[in-house]
Amino acid sequence: MAYQGSLTSVQAWQDLQQHHQDIRDQHMRDWFAKDPQRFERFHVEAAGLTLDYSKNRINQHTVQLLLELAQQRGLPGAIRNLFQGEHVNRSEDRPALHTALRNFSEREILVNDVNIMPEVRHTVHRMEEFCWKIRRNQWRGYDNRPFTDVVSIGIGGSFLGPKLASSALKPYWDSGLNIHYLANIDGSHITEILKRLDPATTLFIVQSKSFGTQETLKNATACRRWFLDNGGSEQDLSRHFTAVSANVQKATEFGIAEENIFPMWDWVGGRYSLWSAMGLPLALAIGIDNFRDLLRGAYAMDEHFRTAPLAENMPVIMALLGLWYVNFFGVNSHAILPYDHYLRSLPAHLQQLDMESNGKSITLDGNQVDYHTGPIIWGGVGTNGQHAFHQLLHQGTHFSPCDFIVPMCSHNPIDNFHAMLVSNCLSQSQALLQGKSEQEAIEELIASGMSKAEALVLAPQKVIPGNRPSNTLYFPKATPHTVGSLIALYEHKVAAQGMLWGVNSFDQWGVELGKQLGNRVLSALEGETIADDIDGSTNGLIRAFHKMQQQL
Ligand SMILES: O=P(O)(O)OC[C@H]1O[C@](O)(CO)[C@@H](O)[C@@H]1O
């Protein structure tokens, strides 16, 4: 049974504390020197991906203890509960069944005793029809020209996943449609998008599970105004505006024709939206067959996570390694480093996935945790990051475990670009592992012509501690299938960590508070008077807004 008792009272936790004392001063460089089989020992394959986790501060005993921790925390049962549709999102009394959206098996999935699979499949079928009509120019704009542009209006999970997959799969865009993502409530963003578009050839998809999100509704309203002010008529709206939402009533009240609304369900969390009809902008760009391949990749990872023994289970291994650093090394961040231009949006998506899921400090039993939970997720595309923040990774006082993510083949194999890109990726993780000793620095300086005395002074600046952990995730190419399995891998890693930490990875009450306070501050910004119920700092900033607005 999962989630029973405190994590820190589990026997394996105590054993890991002792084990951490035993190995924390050992250097991975020595382990590699002694054990040429380390890569063989510490790598795992699943769903078209390979994870090399040999460059971690672990030995076989560490792995054994981490696996014991997983067993003692009831991880296998918690994974079963997730897939079986238990109400794992307890604070909202819901299951988290994004896996149903990519369930290619014959298994029924029940919500309130009803099999949801027919509705899921029917929705994909509707998406297929819709994509066919738009991509084959059967459904056109109001002056009968084919659509050239699609504007997806949505934020958070209704934006980040579809945006990531769209840029990750750019080589598969074959419809000639331009896809734009409008998320932020910022007059500059909407202006920059709309100024390039022709209303007669633009299709809008309003993506909001709740149809109540301030940014999305404001942007959607502004897009509708722009459409009407620039040649479109009220009668044309239904040709140009579609929606994906669980709130059909609000979407129809907004003016979207009911037949143009694709469903979303409360058993799909916002950050898992990509797999639902929220993936429509992506499907329009790459076609439904490629979209189905993306789902199949995710399904392959689901099946792996659901059935593989813990010791060979890629998401579980990644979850345990993350926990090892957060809870025993006191690490509070984790870097995501894709070495692929097309995967440049991955860090932003994983920030939401991980930090909105496991940025929690109360357990499912309602107790304050006495250990740390989700780390700060950050990162950026290689090699750009090497010329920016990697310095801190190598020599800073903090250490941040890194995930290097790299396709071994490029969609654009020009010259030796890809070998250079991959060599940078591999040598960065190598440098993090081995570092540079003072002796090596001295010898290097002397070899460059420096005197011994000078070398002794300069060498300490050049010492790189090394022993900094990283994973390398690789695959042949960023195809719909591998991108699907990659995203699902992280979803399951995060879920497994939440299960181990005993938190609810599927709610986000902190975000809700920001939304509530945002409304109060907005009325103060738009009003004349100072609000007594707002703190002094915020009031000072509100006064500054009023003053500067008047000066313009
Ligand atoms: O799809 P909606 O309801 O507009 O919500 C957008 C996003 O807001 C959140 O609730 C909070 O950021 C996310 O979980 C969700 O993806």
- Is residue 314 a contact partner of residue 49, using CB atoms and an 8 Å limit? yes
Provide the H-helix boundaries in 56-116.
Answer: 60-72, 75-83
The ligand 1 site (C-beta within 6 Å) comprises 155-158, 208-210, 213, 216, 270-271, 508, 511
Closest CA to 268 of 53, 103, 446, 434: 103
Per-residue confidence in pLDDT tens, the chain, 552 aa: 445 568 999 999 999 999 999 999 999 999 999 999 999 999 999 999 999 999 999 999 999 999 999 999 999 999 999 999 999 999 999 999 999 999 999 999 999 999 999 999 999 999 999 999 999 999 999 999 999 999 999 999 999 999 999 999 999 999 999 999 999 999 999 999 999 999 999 999 999 999 999 999 999 999 999 999 999 999 999 999 999 999 999 999 999 999 999 999 999 999 999 999 999 999 999 999 999 999 999 999 999 999 999 999 999 999 999 999 999 999 999 999 999 999 999 999 999 999 999 999 999 999 999 999 999 999 999 999 999 999 999 999 999 999 999 999 999 999 999 999 999 999 999 999 999 999 999 999 999 999 999 999 999 999 999 999 999 999 999 999 999 999 999 999 999 999 999 999 999 999 888 777 777 888 889 886 667 788 999 999 999 999 999 887
Report CA(155)–ligand 1 centroid distance (Å). 6
- Residue 517 is predicted with a pLDDT of 76
- Residue 4 is predicted with a pLDDT of 54
Distance CA 73, CA 496 (A): 11
Instruction: Please list, in sequence order, all residues whose beta carbon lies within 8 angstroms of the beta carbon of residue 58, skipping any fewer than 6 positions away.
Output: 42, 66, 321, 324
- Is residue 401 a contact partner of residue 385, using CB atoms and an 8 Å limit? no
| Two structure tokens written together for 507 | 């709610």
**Atom 12 of ligand 1, residue of closest alpha carbon:** 156
Report the nearest atom of ligand 1 relative to the CA of 159: 16
Instruction: Please list, in sequence order, all residues whose beta carbon lies within 8 angstroms of the beta carbon of residue 113, skipping any fewer than 6 positions away.
Output: none
- Residue 530 is predicted with a pLDDT of 64
Number of Cβ atoms within 10 Å of the Cβ of 100: 26
CA dihedral 492, 495, 497, 499 (to 10 degrees): -130
Long-range contacts (CB closer than 8 Å, 24 or more residues apart) made by 355-361:
356/156, 356/271, 356/508, 356/511, 357/271, 357/494, 357/495, 357/498, 357/505, 357/506, 358/494, 358/497, 358/498, 358/501, 358/503, 358/505, 359/510, 360/498, 360/501, 360/503, 360/504, 360/505, 361/503
Closest CA to 319 of 18, 15, 4, 67: 67
Report CA(378)–ligand 1 centroid distance (Å). 20
The predicted-structure confidence for 365-418, as pLDDT tens digits, reads as follows 999 999 999 999 999 999 999 999 999 999 999 999 999 999 999 999 999 999
Report CA(489)–ligand 1 centroid distance (Å). 21
Report the nearest atom of ligand 1 relative to the CA of 352: 12
- Residue 1 is predicted with a pLDDT of 42
Report the nearest atom of ligand 1 relative to the CA of 155: 6
Ligand 1 pocket test: pick from 92, 511, 515 the residue with the most ligand atoms within 8 Å of its Cβ: 511
The predicted-structure confidence for 416-453, as pLDDT tens digits, reads as follows 999 999 999 999 999 999 999 999 999 999 999 999 99
Report CA(219)–ligand 1 centroid distance (Å). 15
**Atom 9 of ligand 1, residue of closest alpha carbon:** 156
| Two structure tokens written together for 373 | 């939970």
Report the nearest atom of ligand 1 relative to the CA of 264: 1
The predicted-structure confidence for 36-90, as pLDDT tens digits, reads as follows 999 999 999 999 999 999 999 999 999 999 999 999 999 999 999 999 999 999 9
- The whole-model pTM stands at 0.96
Report CA(511)–ligand 1 centroid distance (Å). 9
Distance CA 110, CA 219 (A): 36
Q: What is the DSSP string of 292-322?
A: HHHHHHHHHHHHHHHHS-GGG-HHHHHHHHH
Ligand 1 pocket test: pick from 210, 247, 355 the residue with the most ligand atoms within 8 Å of its Cβ: 210
Ligand 1 pocket test: pick from 152, 185, 206, 209 the residue with the most ligand atoms within 8 Å of its Cβ: 209
So which residues are the catalytic ones? 356, 387, 515
Report CA(175)–ligand 1 centroid distance (Å). 29
**Atom 15 of ligand 1, residue of closest alpha carbon:** 270
Ligand 1 pocket test: pick from 94, 98, 158, 354 the residue with the most ligand atoms within 8 Å of its Cβ: 158
**Residue whose pair of structure tokens reads 């690789």 in the numeric block:** 474
Phi, psi of 100 (to 5 degrees): -65, -30
Report CA(124)–ligand 1 centroid distance (Å). 22
| Two structure tokens written together for 178 | 């331009």
**Atom 14 of ligand 1, residue of closest alpha carbon:** 270
